[in-house]
Chains A and B, each alone.
Chain A
């Protein structure tokens, strides 16, 4: 961990884009179910897409890159959550008014201004994640800010847009997407690049997430939530650059806890790449011409080579004069310049590249073979080489991409969109070139949305902002500020409010169970997946006198799916609470006189059935009964 001085010196700049799914009933531009409920796949369609000239007439660099990969796309269609709009077979319906209202509420939560007229746009995407080859998106807020510890962070833009499809599988020829998620309304909150340290980035991400969760709509006595919760419902993209480096976007972080480590690693990676660049320039390194060395390796002992050649493949190599030691140079945990080059080559469908900074013997190459390759490529001691083996077309594509990336090692940190490889280690991999700005054009099938002052005022009048919700929770929890604030910052807040507003159970019991006991279970690896209403039923058993606090946790562990299942868990695990007269009998049965002895005897046997507090009260303050 470096201090803020370090980050200032290296010219660190960072901005965030937080994507949060909204909790509307319907999708943004059609009436499909947006609740992300389990659904049945009913059909598939196969499609092709191509990059078309963008608004300024240029093909955006990321779109033409994907288009050149020429993959086909398969879309899985679902019964309740896919309609013709989603699969590009029907024009969009009117925009979802609830989603627009939510967008206006959330924009205000970030002190942002709402445009007088919101203009729906098409943002071109050709990775296939949208069957229409564009995502509908609109600017709904601008020039906002948040404040953390006295520092202001600009929220430059807030967008209301469509969620993309979830990827099911992919290979060289096709990518399969699930079109259930596509079109669910999403809010994107963008900060200015004025975040100055990775830990600041984490606090900003946390605060944005919190504001998204805490802002609500007044609904009678209740405060309706505006956003979805659960896995994948919030994702953060981070944009990082350093002096001499470039803007790189790491996409789709689901764990807020890993924001800082991902950023630290990206900084490290860019620093290392700059070091490599400097050293390569000093060595006057070059990327040599691609050569076909199939014949040379026709009898190779390397299994990978011999098998490809047997199937009619080729081996293509490129000399890398001056690169020796740098392809294998570590730029992150288990990541080298070679991994970056390999990422590019893989876009053609190959498994990777082989390079001379690796232990080539592990592939089965003999010393003699390596020598002959070096000789063929006319390489000296400081020189390296890389080779790719595959069928000719794929192989040519792969080596072209690999040499393209290798050349960039001498000139720049490439502007890229990267994906998280390992959230714990903070490593990322190349996904595609960073999109430029030339892929937006108006969505002419949808009407612009005029935002009149009166309409905006009405919406804001029934918006509950974070402060109000925080005050209510603090009060509800009897002024227990520690637990209240922990809850406010926790993703468990929504389920807490759901249970607290419906169950007769003591609110502190609900909060403590969710925050402490459930967290323990989850840390232990249990993925708790219980219907909200079943949760209410479980907690109701406490005031009904049928479960103890410890018993609640035992029932949760079994993850019942209905009231009936709660009852059977109760029976199966003998969790029925013992209290009142029955507890008195139990005390009698022990035959003990000492207060502590009685408690010990009963609790050791009936820990899950007896409420310690009740027992203690029943025994009174005396030591002798």
Chain B
């Protein structure tokens, strides 16, 4: 393995039978250096040889004429994590962990120096021994992908697996997931898992678990507490409540959104308050109404249809409605508009061709379901306050109440994938999984 070294250096190494990880001696004009040959980072110049000195520091030596390289000794055996046997404690509940990838399962690769995803989720458990005292955990290694690469196919896969383990008697599920699109997956699962009768908890990490400060540890602990101890029969996201470690919030899957690129408390409830707070010791404090786990053993049904030909379109000053023509032409079945304010689209701008009304009407007339949401995220859209809103309503577009644009997008894909068009149209602004509420509470804005 000669990661990212240029051809000249790579062939030199090959001739000398030197591999990354070997102990080498490099003699340059600046002196002689001994250390372990490291791989090159993915970017930057590739004529620099990086070695790790005995004190642990890496240094780069430019490969130039006259440089001498010798192999001192071969690679030391690679480190592997201690094997963890999950013991089964009869006094504890059994929950399932579905591993899908993301930062929570990322590790520094000491060979490449980059962050990679774990292929063995057991490694994660090895670092959180507290989990053993919370529940018996059964792990399914579903996939190992970054959340920006998730598609509806993965949502379906997760929904099927969740339904399967629940129907086998699992009392709760923790799903580890990359954070970027975790709220899309949470919404998808909220819609897809019909009749869910146990807590389904998505969690992740904003700092990878190879650092001592990672939020992965407390997120896993708090999520396991909810999956084990709570009687919430809903899908939700369990992440840090604040920038401090120790307490998490559990947010309904259709009301959660990643609102910060990097903070550990990035996930906030939008138009909602958290279902509960939970601390690492397992104390759960319920903060709003939720669906309770019911008696009896009804089966969970995974409704796994999804229509991929749905678009999420954002309007803004100067935005051109021609894009709608494109979607009509491509045979799209649904469009969710992310409007401004109460749900506006440009209606009578001075540049006449920038009015969206005509195109939206054309889309509706051609059989596309058009939903209207707001880029404000917070608050509810309205179809009557201004004349321009009434004009938009007149096109046949559906105003989606207090549903977030991304949730409306997932919902429309879900509806079109599982029901006929008429039913989908009827259900778009009717609550299924907590995505639409009738009351807008005062304390739902910028919840801390």
Interface residues of A (CB under 8 A from B): 45-53, 55-58, 63, 67, 72, 84, 87-91, 113, 115-119, 121-124, 126, 131-134, 137-139, 142-143, 157, 159, 437-442, 444, 447-448, 450
Contacts and interface: CB of A to CB of B under 8 A. Distances in A.
Given A57-B79, A116-B48, A133 B213 contact: yes
B60 A50 contact: no
A439 B56 contact: yes
Given A121-B56, A138-B57, A440-B57, A91 B217 contact: no
B58 A89 contact: no
A448 B108 CA distance: 17
A89 B263 contact: yes
A55 B62 contact: no
5 contacts: A46-B246, A50-B127, A121-B57, A450-B44, A450-B48
Contacts of A138: 57
Interface in B227-274: 242-246, 261-264
Contacts of A137: 57
Contacts of B80: 57
A84 B59 CA distance: 28
B53 A139 contact: yes
Contacts of B60: 115-119, 448, 450
B61 A115 contact: yes
Given A55-B110, A57-B80, 7 more contacts: A45-B242, A57-B78, A57-B79, A88-B213, A89-B264, A119-B57, A119-B58
Contacts of A88: 207, 213
A191 B3 CA distance: 34
Contacts of B62: 116-117
B268 to A, nearest CB: 15
Contacts of A450: 44-45, 48, 60
A560 B57 CA distance: 48
A84 B212 CA distance: 17
A441 B110 CA distance: 7
B330 interface: no
Interface string B266-302: 0000000000000010000000000000000000000
B168 interface: no
B81 interface: yes
Given A89-B263, A91-B262, A46 B57 contact: no
B262 A84 contact: yes
A524 B356 CA distance: 81
B59 A134 contact: no
A118 B44 CA distance: 12
B55 A437 contact: yes
A117 B212 contact: no
A270 to B, nearest CB: 23
Interface string B54-85: 11111111100000000000001011110000
Contacts of B263: 84, 89-90
Interface string B199-218: 00000001101111110011
A53 B212 contact: no
A50 B212 contact: yes
A55 B21 CA distance: 12
Given A45-B244, A56-B79, A113 B30 contact: yes
B213 A113 contact: no
Contacts of A67: 212
Given A52-B210, A52-B211, A53-B81, A442 B127 contact: no
B331 interface: no
A53 B206 CA distance: 19
B31 interface: yes
Contacts of B218: 48
A435 to B, nearest CB: 10
Nearest to A51: B212
B394 interface: no
B244 A46 contact: yes
B56 A438 contact: yes
B367 interface: no
B245 A47 contact: yes
B54 A437 contact: yes
Given A84-B262, A89-B264, A139-B53, A115 B59 contact: yes
Contacts of A438: 56
| A-B complex: 3 closest residue pairs judged by Cβ atoms | A117-B60, A57-B79, A440-B56
A157 B55 contact: yes
B114 A444 contact: yes
Interface string B340-384: 000000000000000000000000000000000000000000000
Given A88-B207, A442-B113, A447 B246 contact: no
Contacts of A157: 55, 57
A159 B57 CA distance: 10
Given A117-B60, A118-B60, A119-B57, A124 B212 contact: yes
Interface string B105-143: 000101001110000000000010000000000000000
Nearest to A56: B79
Contacts of B400: none
B246 A117 contact: no
B213 A131 contact: yes
Nearest to B57: A139
Contacts of B242: 45
B27 to A, nearest CB: 13
Given A52-B212, A90-B262, A47 B244 contact: yes
A143 B33 CA distance: 10
A119 B243 contact: no
A132 B59 contact: no
B408 to A, nearest CB: 30
A87 B113 CA distance: 23
B113 A132 contact: no
B179 to A, nearest CB: 13
A134 B48 contact: no
B59 A142 contact: yes
A450 B242 CA distance: 39
B58 A442 contact: yes
B78 to A, nearest CB: 8
A88 B114 CA distance: 19
A2 to B, nearest CB: 31
Contacts of B213: 47, 49, 88, 131-133
Nearest to A77: B243
Contacts of A143: 30-31
Which of A58, A137, A442 has the largest number of chain B CB atoms within 10 A? A442
Contacts of B385: none
A131 B78 CA distance: 29
Contacts of A87: 243
A49 B212 contact: yes
A250 B230 CA distance: 51
A199 to B, nearest CB: 28
Contacts of B41: 442, 444, 447-448
A45 B243 contact: yes
Nearest to A89: B263
A113 B76 CA distance: 30
Nearest to B265: A89
Contacts of B214: 52
Contacts of A441: 108, 110, 113, 210
Given A52-B127, A113-B30, A46 B58 contact: no
Contact of A53 (B55, B79, B207): B79
A137 B45 CA distance: 21
A129 B79 CA distance: 28
A444 B31 contact: no
Contacts of A47: 213, 244-245
A157 B50 CA distance: 17
A116 B214 CA distance: 33
A413 to B, nearest CB: 22
Contact of A89 (B54, B127, B262): B262
Nearest to A124: B212
A50 to B, nearest CB: 6
B106 to A, nearest CB: 10
A437 B54 CA distance: 8
Nearest to A438: B56
Which of A55, A121, A122, A134 has the largest number of chain B CB atoms within 10 A? A55
